[in-house]
Amino acid sequence: MDKVDPLFSLVASLNQRAKLAFKSFVQSTVLQKEVNDIEYWKLYQDIQDELKKGVWTNVNLRSKFSHLSNLSRTKGQLFDRIIGSLISNSDNPRSLLEKELQGIREMIRIGQKPSEIKLAKLAQQAIDSEYFDIAIRIYHLRSRAWVDFEDLERVSGEITQINMDVSLFNLKQSEIHVYQNLYDTSYLTLREFYAARGSIELKLIDPILKHPMLADHKKAECYTSQLYYHILRYSCWFFLGKYKESECEVKAAIEIFDAHSHLITEYTALYVDSLTNYGLILVLNKKQEEANKILKRVSTIKTRSQRIEARVWRGLVVGQMATLLYLGEAQKAIHLIKDVERGLVQFDKNLRLEDKLLAQFSLAIVLFTNQNLRQAKIWLNQITEVKNTKVRVDLQNMARILLMCVYYEMGEFSLLTRQIREMERWNGRRIFEFETRMMSFFRKAPFPEAEKARITSEFTEEIEALLTDPFEQRVKLYFDPIAWLKATN
């Protein structure tokens, strides 16, 4: 077997959208219950497992599929079906090249010699778009056409250069795959915590920033690699609360999208998220006018699926509500409540859990700040029922603190006590100093009426001092505890 298998290269090149398209394509051809019994589907899953380990050979697959009479045939079936799913997805820029490639393959099969000019043009398009797996297949088709049509002089004269080019393409494809894989693994950490609040998160994020592929920007030679490089770095800097550094990196990522427009179609979800986060970062850096311009760009994105439509909705509507809350303008966010509630119903099946949690939390904060405590309690309870310790733990923690604030204001002290116990049970290792002190304050409630003002005032000063700590200060990303304490006093 060749050192780098075209099938491995093809599977490695698939982005999330292409993977979903392939899965839907397979499910549309067989009964749902039979999908996991299809040999080429099993092969596809095993190749993905091997690629996650950085393995680019077929050694392990041979042992897993030793029972198959013809592994080559199963690989061929998988290859053809992946290409079929890409071609059926006509909005994908990659699919246009795949269609052309399929036509050339058919020409050779029936004995027609393809145009050398056309082959060279397609190869250059694939290279310019950094679809190196397609470029490799075009080069293989070119050499096959020379052999089939007895252009032997050309074969002997150019085969060395072809092999050198294919080796280079394999290296570039491998580089992009390394960055994509690093993004996929880092995303799990970033979506769990969102913002560093202490040493636990710092220990998790430090290895990402110090990874050799992120420590030196020269490692990212391909512009697709550079895109992931900047996305990873802006995410890490945001996580650490370094918003100026984050702004520089996210701006660089957007510039790459703008310079290579096919990336917007290829990685639409990443583009939407990058624009949305750029807007938020600009707000945090007190650049409201620039943030408004970015928000307008989000509204112009073409949505080719409900999944992307849901992502755009989250960026526009929920993002606008979250921005108003951060600016302390909760009153202005009231008019967005119905839009957010409708969106949660409309996009229920297409929203990521972290997007649902953010929408629910934003609704709760708007209602809470505007003294609609009963409605706020409904949304907060929905968040606390999730109990997923791998997605937006920060929102789940803060929802529990806010629920205590609601119970405190409503005088429901038995429920307040129960909520404190539930908070301690569900995820104690991530209860930080702010949450600890808030719970300590609530444990003493209700306060004697004559002492309430003094106790609350002293506690307010205590929290003000605590929030001078850079990590504890990040509580203000969620709500303003000082304003709430002063309002209840």
pTM over 0.95: no
Around 174, how many Cα atoms within 13 Å sit in the side-chain half-sphere? 14
Q: Which helix (H) or strand (E) holds 357?
A: helix 353-369
Instruction: Using pLDDT thresholds of 50, 70 and 90, give the confidence band for residue 410.
Output: very high
* DSSP-based three-state secondary structure for 254: helix
- The CA distances from residue 171 to 53, 55, 125, 215, in Å, are 17, 14, 18, 20
**CA distance linking residue 129 with residue 465, whole number of Å:** 53
Length of the chain: 489
Query: Nearest to residue 411, comparing CAs of 382, 379, 445?
Result: 445
Asked if pLDDT for residue 428 goes beyond 50, the answer is no
Determine the average pLDDT of the residues in 353-378: 94
Residues 215-232: pLDDT tens digits?
889 999 999 999 999 999
Query: Nearest to residue 275, comparing CAs of 237, 266, 256, 479?
Result: 256
Determine the average pLDDT of the residues in 273-291: 93
**CA distance linking residue 236 with residue 186, whole number of Å:** 9
DSSP of 261-282: THHHHHTHHHHHHHHHHHHHHH
Lowest mean pLDDT among 203-207, 286-290, 412-416: 203-207
Query: How much of the chain, in percent, has pLDDT values that exceed 90?
Result: 45
pLDDT for 153:
65
Asked if pLDDT for residue 129 goes beyond 80, the answer is yes
Residue with tokens 């080559």: 72
**CA distance linking residue 254 with residue 390, whole number of Å:** 28
Asked if pLDDT for residue 2 goes beyond 50, the answer is no
Around 4, how many Cα atoms within 13 Å sit in the side-chain half-sphere? 20
Determine the average pLDDT of the residues in 125-154: 82
Structure tokens at 377: 């309690």
Determine the average pLDDT of the residues in 289-293: 91
> Contact 95/58 with Cβ under 8 angstroms?
no
Question: DSSP class of residue 29?
Answer: T
**CA distance linking residue 84 with residue 105, whole number of Å:** 14
- The CA distances from residue 386 to 54, 382, 404, 427, in Å, are 34, 7, 17, 12
Question: DSSP class of residue 481?
Answer: H
Mean residue pLDDT across the chain: 85
DSSP of 120-146: HHHHHHHHHTT-HHHHHHHHHHHHHHH
> Contact 134/94 with Cβ under 8 angstroms?
yes
Residues 319-357: pLDDT tens digits?
888 888 888 888 889 999 999 999 999 999 999 999 999
> Contact 272/298 with Cβ under 8 angstroms?
yes
Determine the average pLDDT of the residues in 175-183: 92
